[in-house]
Amino acid sequence: MAGPDTEGGPAGLVWRLPVVGLRAFWTPIVLSLGVLVIVLAVWASGDTVLALAVTAALIRAVMVIGLYIFIGNSGVLAFGHATFMMVGAYGVAWLTLRPFNKSFALQLPEFLAAHQYPLLPSAIAAALLAAIVAFVVGIPIMRLSGIAAAIATLAVLGMFKTFYSNWSEWTLGAATMPGIPIYVDMWIALAWVVVALFVAYIYQRSKYGLALRASREDEFAARAAGINIPRQRLIAFVLSAFFMGIGGVLEAHYLGTIAVKNFWLTITFILLAMLIVGGQRSLSGAIVGVVVISTLIEILNSLEAGMNVGVAVLSVPIGAQELTIAGLMIIILVFRPDGIMGGREVPWPFGKAGRIVRDPGAVESEHDPLRRGLAQRDSAP
Amino acid sequence: MMERLARRLRPARPGAAALAVAGTPEDTLEAFDVTVHFEGLAAVDGVSISMRNGEVFGLIGPNGAGKTTLVNVLTGFQRPTRGRVVLGGEDVTGLSAHELGRRGLARTFQAVRLFRDMPVIENLEAAAVGTGLGRREAARRASRILAWMRFAHRADDWADTLPYGEERRVGIGRALAMAPRFVLLDEPAAGLSDAECDELMGLIAEIPHVFGCGVLLIEHNMRVIMGACHRIHVIESGRTVAEGSPEEIQVNPDVLRAYLGTRSGDARG
């Protein structure tokens, strides 16, 4: 039986120049440089408090990119991604807590209880654990569509929250787990943002990302085109969970403590707000959303604490933060539902996209079906 | 300069790239006694068709005759209540739509259903990738098909900015980007102007030899049907009325009665 790949015979007429070099990675390069500029400015200012806030924002950027990989490409909303942050954060705690700390309250198996593993391999292992969890729960959920899928992911978060809250031997239950080594600063968080940006971009340009984006646009047409939608969604879901796991890992090594209650609806809401405000259908939108909302949060934080502006102290009531973010999200949804970036990436500023040129590999031939077809057509009355 | 660069990055590989040809001359698509009941109502009732590689096979009938339902059965979007679908001798009844797509059945939709928030070329690339091609080969095939359709100049335009007639053209290009063994076109000429219809007819007539596949064409426009088809199958109320060459069908009294109702006259419409 002839498969669809048996292209043979002499080559045809034209093809499109592949996008190469700087241009092929323009989006992640520009976004990385943008974030780098912010980080450099804060570093140069020497403001250590602001540096902490920026680190927190960068960690959230990793999470939002993780969220984007799934939601942005599949068009399926997911409310349960905090699950994978939690799995990553606890996973890395088991690996990197000192055995002395572990011996207090945790009852871990020997290979975890007796050792403290190096930081980077632990981070990757913990994120892989999150990805494995996503793979297992994703197999049934990725068959669902629309609101059913969104609710199912929320249910997964609920299950894991209950599970981790009661799994005292491993998680200290609902109590806070302290003593995790603190090493994440602005630069380490930045490095992970850059990694996440490039991986997310390479994925979205890959054949897997392309197939998934097609299914986002039209499920029927995508199926007719041979695209196995549940499988493509699962790939994105697992990759997405890996970076959510990295986000959880960074959070754990940034705060030094983790608690189940921190991986619940508040963070879910903030991350979704960032993605929606920036524009959920482009990587650029994800980053813009993080920058806008994080800046807003920072301003409101200082206002809630009381900001000294010359003669008066400006202050807003506690809770203004959530209200403002929610308000901004509603405004965006009403007036610009595709977010600030409108689903587009940062445009390449130097001219139009790939030209159609004569195929460099083409061997012109009478037997070329394309040429034959064109010749017949041109000679037709 | 860019051209040289591209040549260096992708060394010439003669023979690796012709327009997508997947079918063999003996390839067939058959339906035996296909019946579809919707809550007791028979949308398709015992229809059998058999089409070969290389031919344009017309499927016509009045509105509601069951043409689209039959196409849905052939492409895995509708499970038949009874009957079998056989592709190249292999029973493919009940396979899902994407599995049939991978096996070489492509289709268009009456509602076109482009991937709207993607550029034209990515619409074609996604279909090529869906049937297992790598990213680069998909890009190559997509640009060749666009060039064949005289549509390369719109390659980078967003699909949702196209006028209706061009949308339909991209829909056909997308189906062909799968390098199908059989492509099923569901009313490709609906809503097109006469000039656009003629151009479309030219394209459709070329498809079998440019792509080495068979074409099943559902259409109401008799000019397109009579001009492009080798054989025509007529159904009404889910049942086969007649099958034959355009000349036979045009003078078949059953067809005239079924298709044109009480109106007598010329089936050229």
DSSP string over A52-93: HHHHHHHHHHHHHHHHHHHHHHH----S-THHHHHHHHHHHH
CB contact under 8 A, B130 and A214: yes
Q: Which domain holds residue B73?
A: 26-114+181-260
Nearest CA in chain A to B175: A225
pLDDT at position A313, please?
78
Contact residues, B window 65-94, toward A, CB-based 8 Å cutoff: 75, 77, 88, 90
Residue whose token pair is 């007719």: A224
Range of the domain at A229: 21-262
Answer whether B134 touches A (CB < 8 Å): yes
Task: Look at A224 and B136 and tell me if their CB atoms are within 8 Å.
Answer: no
Confidence band for A348, pLDDT divided at 50, 70 and 90: confident
pLDDT score, position B257: 83
Q: Quote the minimal CA–CA distance from B40 to chain A in Å.
A: 25
Residue A347: the pLDDT is: 85
Q: Calculate the dihedral angle through the C-alpha atoms of A356, A361, A366, A372, rounding to the nearest 10 degrees.
A: -30
Residues 6+ apart with CB under 8 A from B152: A14, A356, B143, B146
Instruction: For residue A380, list chain B residues with Cβ-Cβ distance below 8 A.
Output: 202
CB A14 within 8 A of CB A354: no
What average pLDDT score do residues A247-272 get?
96
- Spell out which residues of chain B touch residue A226, defining contact as CB-CB under 8 Å: 98, 101-102, 127, 130-132, 178
Q: Residue A80: what pLDDT?
A: 96
CATH number of the domain to which B102 belongs: 3.40.50.300
Say if A28 falls within a structural domain.
yes
A228 located within any domain: yes
Domain membership of residue A209 (yes or no) is: yes
CA distance B71 to B36: 12
Q: According to the model, what pLDDT value does residue B261 have?
A: 61
Residues on chain B touching A222 (C-beta within 8 angstroms): 98, 115, 126, 130
What is the model's pLDDT at position A147?
92
Residue that wins the pLDDT comparison between B263 and B55: B55
Most confident range, picked from A94-103, A236-245, B14-23, B163-172: A236-245
Is B21–A20 a contact, with Cβ atoms under 8 angstroms apart?
Answer: no
Where residue A17 falls among pLDDT bands split at 50, 70, 90?
A: low
* Contact yes or no for A12/A362 (Cβ under 8 A): yes
pLDDT of residue B119: 94
Task: Report chain B residues whose CB lies below 8 A from the CB of A213.
Answer: 115, 118, 122, 126
Answer yes or no: is pLDDT of A254 > 70: yes
Token pair, residue B32, equals 């035996």
Residues from chain A contacting residue B127 (CB–CB below 8 Å): 214, 225-226
Contact present, B161 and A258 (Cβ < 8 Å): no
* Residue A294 included in any domain: no
Taking phi over 0 as left and psi of -120 to 50 as alpha, with beta for the rest, A318 belongs to beta
CB pairs under 8 A between A and B: 232
In a domain, B76, yes or no: yes
- The answer to whether B219 faces chain A, any CB pair under 8 Å, is no
What's the mean per-residue pLDDT of chain A? 87
Q: Which residues of A214-226 are buried (b: 16+ CB within 10 A; e: fewer)?
A: bbbbbbebbbbbb
Domain assignment present for B206: yes
**Amino acid occupying residue A309:** V
Quick check: is B144 in a domain? no
Q: Is residue A34 part of a domain?
A: yes
Domain count, chain A: 1
- Any A CB within 8 A of B24 CB: yes
B157 located within any domain: no
CA distance readout (Å), A32 to A39, A120, A156, A341, A349: 10, 21, 33, 16, 17
Nearest by CB: A11 against B17, B23, B137 = B17
- A15 with A359: CB under 8 angstroms? yes
Looking at the DSSP bridge assignments, the partners of residue B56 are: B215
pLDDT at A220: 97
pTM (2 d.p.) = 0.88
Query: Shortest Cα distance from A64 to chain B (angstroms)?
Result: 22
Residue pair A66/A242 in contact (Cβ under 8 Å)? The answer is yes
Reported as a single tens digit per residue, the pLDDT across B211-246 is: 999 999 999 888 889 989 999 999 999 999 999 999
**Tokens (6 digits) for B194:** 């006469």
pLDDT-derived band at B24, boundaries 50, 70, 90: confident
Higher pLDDT, A214 or B39: A214
Cβ atoms of B100 and B75 closer than 8 Å: yes
pLDDT band at B265 (very low <50, low <70, confident <90, very high): very low
Distance, CA of B149 to CA of B180 (rounded, Å): 17
Which of A105-119, A359-373, B227-241 has the lowest average pLDDT?
A359-373
Per the CB < 8 Å rule, is B18 touching A211?
A: no
Band (pLDDT 50/70/90 cuts) for residue A373 is very low
Residue A310: pLDDT over 90: no
Contacts of A295 (CB under 8 A, 6+ apart): none
Is residue B22 very low, low, confident or very high in pLDDT (cuts 50, 70, 90)? Answer: low
Q: Cβ of A379 under 8 Å from any chain B Cβ?
A: no
Residue B8 has pLDDT above 70, yes or no: no
A124 occurs within a structural domain? yes
Average pLDDT over residues A259-272: 95
State pLDDT tens for residues A72-82: 999 999 999 99
Mutation for B interface: A204, A207, A215, most B CBs within 10 A: A207
Q: At A9, is the pLDDT very low, low, confident or very high (cuts 50, 70, 90)?
A: very low
Dist. CA A193–CA A8, nearest whole Å = 44
Does A367 or A217 have the greater pLDDT score?
A217
Q: Is B114 on the interface with A (CB under 8 A)?
A: yes
Give the alpha-carbon dihedral of B137, B140, B143, B147, to 10 degrees. -130
End-to-end Cα distance, chain A: 37
In a domain, A363, yes or no: no
In 3D space, the residue among B100, B83, B121 whose CA is nearest the CA of residue A228 turns out to be B100
Tens of pLDDT, residues B107-137 = 999 999 999 999 999 999 999 999 999 998 9
Residues in B closer than 8 angstroms to A224, CB to CB, are 75, 77, 97-98, 101, 106-107, 109, 175
- Torsion angles phi and psi, residue A239, rounded to 5: -65, -40
- For chain B, how many structural domains are there in total? 1
Residue A311 lies in a domain: no
